[in-house]
Amino acid sequence: MIYETAPAKINFTLDTLFKRADGYHEVEMIMTTIDLNDRLSFEIRNDQQIVVDVEQNYVPTGVKNLAYQAAKLMQETYNIDSGVTISIDKNIPVSAGLGGGSTDAAATMRGMNQLFDLGLSMDELRTLALEIGTDVPFCIQGQTALCKGIGGNIELLNKPPSAWVVVAKPNVGLSTPEVFRQLKLVEPCKTYTHMCVEALQNGDYQQLCESLSNRLEIVSNEMHPEILKLKHNMLNSGADGAVMSGSGPTVYGLAQKVSQAKHIYNSVNGCCNEVYLVRLLG
């Protein structure tokens, strides 16, 4: 049996640059990991089946599960004769903008690499991961990275200064494709990724907090105005910086002192079912 930890990701930044000819938005963003984790175990089967076992009944277990898709891709690409049973202990909120499915897929690829002794490098895993989804290559190594284009272009950055993270998911669902459909790129918009890169290079916590931004925040907020209310709630209760992650609806706030972080946690705990107090991993 092999075990893997799959951390959630958050976006420090998410800039959209322009709409490409293929209809996708050119995105530039900085992602990092937090210690809010799914835990996965992998066991070889005697048959060729891929079986995904998740307790929460709202998470798909068949082909729609990204861990299943990752296992199938590994099995086919490397001509693996045996099947695998994947058990997922799910802690990351689902459809939240925290990359839950992507990190499970990445953990599955790392787990199967070990379980079947494939000896694949991180680079090889990242290349294959792109076939599952744009955020999966980042999740292969986690850490903190600048991600450009549709997922393949990853540049590792310095670990962020240590901080507490209050993560809160409003009780609403958001579809990532729908958020991008609503995004209008008529006017050029200020971008923050370069400022965030600089903050990380200099280990400047203050500048990092100032650079937190997400171009999708305003779009998601039009659909669910509780997003900006939550962000302002965090800032008013003492967060050094706060922003929505991915396409939302999860919002997180940063704090360096634990007392400050607990205060923010208590302030938002009433308005969301899912609130966590964790640390940046980076």
Which positions lie near ligand ATP, rule CB under 6 A?
59-60, 64-67, 94-102, 104, 135, 176, 246-247
Catalytic site includes residue 257: no
Report the nearest approach of ligand ATP to the CB of residue 71 (Å): 11
| Cis peptide leading into residue 249 (ω within 30°) | yes
Residue 140: partners with Cβ closer than 8 Å, 6 or more residues away: 106, 109, 110, 122, 125, 126, 129
Q: By C-beta, is 135 or 240 nearer to ligand ATP? A: 135
Residue appearing with tokens 């659909």: 223
Q: What DSSP element (H or E) covers 5?
A: strand 2-19
Largest CA distance in the chain: 57
Query: 5: closest CA among 107, 92, 100?
Result: 107
As annotated, the binding site includes 93-103
Rounded Cα–Cα distance for residues 139 and 104 (Å): 9
Report the nearest approach of ligand ATP to the CB of residue 197 (Å): 22
Q: By C-beta, is 111 or 161 nearer to ligand ATP? A: 111
Report the nearest approach of ligand ATP to the CB of residue 187 (Å): 25
Q: By C-beta, is 132 or 277 nearer to ligand ATP? A: 132
In the set 15, 38, 104, 135, the catalytic residue is 135
Tell me, what DSSP letter sits at residue 104? H
CA-based torsion, 229, 230, 236, 240: positive or negative: negative
Nearest-5° angle of CA 203, CA 282, CA 239? 70
As annotated, the binding site for ATP includes 93-103
Distance of CA 94 to the CA centre of its chain: 11
Report the nearest approach of ligand ATP to the CB of residue 169 (Å): 10
Q: By C-beta, is 139 or 242 nearer to ligand ATP? A: 139
Give the residue closest to ligand ATP by C-beta: 101
Catalytic site includes residue 159: no
Active site amino acids:
9, 135
